[in-house]
Amino acid sequence: MNTLVCGQSSKAIDNKPRLFDEIRNVARMRHLSLRTEQAYVQWIRRFILFHDKRHPRDMGEAEIRAFISHLAVDRSITASTQTVALSALLFLFRDVLKKEMPYVANIERAQKPKRLPVVFTRDETKRIFAQLEGTHWLIAGLLYGSGLRLMECLRLRVKDIDFTYAQITVRDGKGEKDRITMLPARLKQALTRQLQKTKVIHEEDLRAGYGEVFLPYALARKYPSAPKQWGWQYVFPAAKRSIDPRNGKQRRHHLSETTIQKAVKNAIRQTRISKNGSCHTFRHSFATHLLEEGYDIRTVQELLGHKDVKTTMIYTHVLNRGGRGVKSPIDL
């Protein structure tokens, strides 16, 4: 029995540790995030199990097509999840196994629903903020006041905050793009206090013999002292140090996104707002409220970091005032 994924030992399993170790090595060489690496490993493992534990080098386009179609038809996964699964398999064949892999055609695609974004009104936003405090309030403020995605906010480094020019530099945003957005005046004082607390934590870590932070793109090898420098520290550090699974070093990572998501969800429940909102709803509200104020859509596009203005245009739905700007006859 071929036991590539499960079991302990056999000639077939000889490739198991090598394959998944190589997947992780290539992922790190390509500077994929740990989250992406873990997702890819999961989908590749499921792909192998689906095909009775055959080794991927003995499979190809037909097996990829069968697996992805199975996910859409039999498992009813969302279109975005299907895209991640396909990306994982293309990464496996093209980057790890070095097999020529043309566009995988004739896949049964999950239908991506066309939904308008949920947006909080200004009053709803104020009510939610009234239920938040401390770090949770500040992070939610940056999501709404600067249009940040949650992970962009949590991954902010000290050096990315510019109080003089009142701006925030977002590094490696979606699509590995950098951008600059505004730093709201209302948040400056709270952000200053947060940095003071972070500085104390960092100095305590240094005294304990730690104080390193993860640096992307092999910067730690190029600048050996940088991981301990103040400017590279996360603005929102985790409460405890943890072991980095990529190299076994004990570091202080950034705050967990789950903590903020739970706080925001709880705040929404307390306000009795019926909308299915989340942390990302603050970003939607940021864009919508700016457009309501008459700001140019290209400016909003740049602040959000959208590649195509068509993505930003979805927020113009609220400007239509219901039926595409047409007054109801009962209001005439």
Q: Give the 3-state secondary structure of residue 295.
A: coil
Active-site choice (40, 144, 234, 315): 315
Report the C-alpha gap between 71 and 232 in whole angstroms.
41
Buried b (16+ CB within 10 A) or exposed e, 257-266: eebbeebbee
Report the C-alpha gap between 180 and 87 in whole angstroms.
29
Closest CA to 156 of 215, 232, 213, 217: 232
CB 231 within 8 A of CB 223: no
Kind plus residue range of the DSSP H or E element containing 196: helix 188-207
99 classed as catalytic: no
Active-site choice (149, 155, 251, 254): 149
Active-site choice (174, 179, 249, 317): 174
283 classed as catalytic: yes
159 classed as catalytic: no
Place of tokens 């959000």: 304
174 classed as catalytic: yes
149 classed as catalytic: yes
For the chain, 332 residues long, give each residue's pLDDT as a single digit of tens: 444 444 444 444 444 558 888 999 898 888 788 888 999 999 999 999 999 999 999 998 889 988 988 888 888 788 888 889 999 999 999 899 988 876 666 666 666 667 788 999 999 999 999 999 999 999 999 999 999 999 999 999 999 999 999 999 998 877 678 899 999 999 999 999 999 999 999 999 999 999 999 887 667 778 888 899 999 999 999 999 999 887 788 999 999 999 999 999 999 999 999 999 999 999 999 999 999 888 989 999 999 999 888 888 888 766 655 444 555 565 55
